[in-house]
Structure 1
Amino acid sequence: MKRSIKIQNLKCGGCANTIIIQLSKLDGISEVTVNNETDEVSLNYNSEIEFESAKKKLSVLGYPMIGETNSLPKKAKSFVSCAVGRMSK
């Protein structure tokens, strides 16, 4: 199945790179793409459990879905994820 979700705190290609790398490591998740202009992450998944795992990973990385709480610690984590993504290119 394929789904797109809108996320918060997406700033640049470094953010996108981190998201793609980290979500691609999850079992059952494939074809991860990030659109910085629309703040969307698209991915293929095999089951709802895997999709929920991907949403949780995004939140842990500092990119919660639109509508979820976007606390200061999550915003700070997104800056760290962004920096890591820039260095991983």
Structure 2
Amino acid sequence: MKTRIHIQNLKCGGCANTIIKNLTQLNAISNVEVDVEDSVVSFEMESEKDLEQVKTTLKKIGYPEDGEANSLGSKAKSYVSCAIGKITT
């Protein structure tokens, strides 16, 4: 089923590359797309339990769901993820 999540700290294509790379490594997740302008991640998942795995992964790499706590640590992680995403393109 197709799902969309609004996230925080999304700034550029480097961020998008990192998100796509990390989410496509998860089992049962496919067709990952990132809309940088609207800060939205879209993907296909097999079941509702996969949604929590995606949210946890996004938070771990610095892109928590919109409305969740956005600590200084999350912001710092997103900057590192962004830089890595720019380097690996």
Mark yes or no: TM-score above 0.5: yes
C-alpha distance in structure 2 between counterparts of 1:23 and 1:88, whole Å: 16
Give the residue type in structure 1 aligned to 2:64.
P
Show the counterpart of 2:31: 31
- The number of residue pairs the alignment matches comes to 89
C-alpha distance in structure 1 between counterparts of 2:51 and 2:77, whole Å: 21
Give the residue type in structure 1 aligned to 2:87.
M
Question: Which structure 1 residue ranges, 4+ long, deviate > 2 Å from structure 2?
Answer: none
Q: CA offsets per residue over residues 15-66 of structure 1, 9 Å max, x none?
A: 0000001000000000000000100000000011111101100000000001
Which 5+ residue runs of structure 1 have no aligned equivalent?
none
Percent of residue pairs bearing the same amino acid type: 54
TM-score, normalising length: structure 2: 0.98
C-alpha distance in structure 2 between counterparts of 1:31 and 1:55, whole Å: 16
Matches within 5 A, 1:1-89: 1-89=1-89
Say what the alpha-carbon RMSD is for the aligned residues: 0.5
Which 5+ residue runs of structure 2 have no aligned equivalent?
none
